[in-house]
Amino acid sequence: MKAVQVMSYGAADVLRVNEVARPAPGPGEVLVSVEASSVNGHDVIVRAGGLKMVSGRRFPIGVGLDFAGVVAATGADVEGYRAGDRVWGTVHPRQRHTTGGAAEYVVVPADRIAPAPAGISPVEAASLVVAGTTALTALRDSTHLAAAERILVRGAAGGVGTAAVQLAHAMGAHVTALARDRHAPLLTGLGADEVLDYGSTTSDAIGPFDVILDTVGSELNCYRSRLTKSGRMATVALSAPALAAIAASSVHGSRRIRTFSANPDTPVLRDLADHVTSGALRPVVDGVYPLTDTAAAHQAFERGGTAGKHVIQVAA
């Protein structure tokens, strides 16, 4: 089978599409024939060597944190799935893999997949797996967003941001989206009550907010100061400056900057599918790339300024 692999740490040109042996599912595992995967920040950080303590220094390393596809085979002790079932899921972000979701087949534990929602394509499904579960975890479990609260979504046009805007709107919150001005029509259509241009908006001129969800990772303390007295803030950015701000904010109690592990299992993936089925969440895809152009998808992700997700189409 074909799989995208990191052959050494570095820029996107270290990625290679290699021919490797198709894996076989062990007990409790499922073999998925992958139809689509997406580019996530985790993939780019691993490729660049930012998580060497997890990925190590042995190559090749697999690429692709998420996937949508069809069950090809199941291992012993797997119940509830059979060949031909459409599913979506993730590989474990804190384990080393020689192949990931950007491959023709992937093996994962059965508790890391769930039935994919009907009515959307594999490309659309792949665009929502990590982005959607991250946004859902941030709003529901980390910041406990409630109806009628005011939330700021910073970096609202990205994958996590577009999902968060929709989910926050569905939860009954007043949603302010901070993004490039050209993305305002998209974000309003997704449910944002207000869209602010990040290029001309300073943190001290907005708020206060009950919840702030950050996907950018800079100026975190400045934005934290825009919380209400009972406000909560979470970031999905894990850069060195962001980690320093998170640590320093611990003295602020409930108004500290939170981070969390977006490591979805079957129940979270099922919950996300329910939001898609209900119409509360729809995919936003910026670009679709064949497996052979995964490096180009990584480059587009790193350039930024996109609306939604970059998706790798594995099977036509």
DSSP conformation class of 60: -
Tokens of 63: 């690429």
Round to whole Å and give the CA distance between 270 and 273: 5
Task: Look up tokens 């939330």; give the residue.
Answer: 151
Cα angle 173, 176, 179 (rounded to 5 degrees) comes to 145
Angle between helix 41-48 and 294-303 (nearest 10):
100
pLDDT digits (tens), the chain, 316 positions: 999 999 999 999 999 999 999 999 999 999 999 999 999 999 999 999 988 877 778 999 999 999 999 999 999 999 999 999 999 999 998 888 899 999 999 999 999 999 999 999 999 999 999 999 999 999 999 999 999 999 999 999 999 999 999 999 999 999 999 999 999 999 999 999 999 999 899 998 899 999 999 999 889 999 999 999 999 999 998 766 766 777 777 766 777 888 877 789 999 999 999 999 999 999 999 999 999 999 999 999 999 988 999 999 998 7
CATH, domain range 2-127+264-313? 3.90.180.10
Do 129-258 and 2-127+264-313 have the same topology in CATH? Answer: no
The answer to whether domain 129-258 has CATH 3.30.479.30 is no
In contact, 120 and 283? CB cutoff 8 Å: yes
Delimit the domains of the chain by residue range.
2-127+264-313, 129-258
Round to whole Å and give the CA distance between 157 and 163: 9
Q: By C-alpha distance, which of 117, 165, 198 is closest to 284?
A: 165
Residues facing residue 5 across a β-bridge: 16, 62
Angle between helix 122-136 and 159-170 (nearest 10):
70
Tokens of 43: 């993939």
Query: Could you tell me which residues come within 8 angstroms of residue 139 by beta carbon, excluding any fewer than 6 positions away?
Result: 145, 151, 164, 167, 168, 171, 211, 213
C-alpha count within 13 angstroms, C-beta hemisphere, residue 8: 3
E-state strands within 236-284: 257-258
Q: By C-alpha distance, which of 39, 55, 107, 67 is closest to 294?
A: 39
